[in-house]
Structure 1
Amino acid sequence: MTDDLAYDVFTRTCPSRGTLEHVTGRWGCLTLGALREGTFRFNELRRRVDGVSEKMLSQTLHVLERDGLVYREAQPMNPPRVDYRLTQLGREIAEWLIGLISLVEDRMPQVEAARESYDAERAAPDAT
């Protein structure tokens, strides 16, 4: 690690790499983005993050809770009720992620055009 920074994600052994992976991985990013909308029960969150399996959502919530980004509140009811919401740190990170998500969504026409161009160039017969 460098003298100027306590953490340097570009250093192999830096613990921030794991957190960055949890936050920017597909399910972590989508889970944090969904929780930015409010408090969810597990199945509500699973429906909101379309396509995530129960097992993957459970694993994602565990690592995000361990990283201090998600708060899990179990309420003693019958049947038990568990709610998930963002912590203050989770809200800060989710705000940045929503900006990135919005940018990607807004630029998808350019991305799709680039993909089409790329694919067309690769599909063209070699002119040599």
Structure 2
Amino acid sequence: YYVDPTRPTGANNLRLPNIAMPHVLSELEGLKRAVFRDVVRHGEGGTEIHEQVFDHFEQIAPGRLGAAEYDGFVRDTVNFLDYVGEPTQTARRALGIWVVLFLLVFSWLAWLVKREYWKDVH
């Protein structure tokens, strides 16, 4: 997110530009300004196409957290929301290991039976 006075919320997003979503963590991260650079590309017929490409952020106002603290806060929040979205994920993964082991043993036993049945044919 970066400061954009043309948007109704006062912020814009690089991933999803021009959406009406405020930067709810701006107090923690601080305010940033996006710096774009002009890139000239040549199109069909030799026409020049000017594009604005994101270059970097400039800090306008500091937040309550430093950069490392903010990254840790966002990481912890995302991990918590991932867990809350599917709390039985750890049990499902543990069960998955047993299912794969069962299938391996069953496949080996089926191969032994197949070998026994087909030994007279070959």
Same fold (TM over 0.5): no
TM (norm. structure 1) is 0.27
**Larger % of helix: which?**
1
Q: Tell me which structure has the larger Cα radius of gyration.
A: 2
Return the TM-score normalized by structure 2.
0.28
Q: Whose strand fraction is larger, Structure 1's or Structure 2's?
A: 2
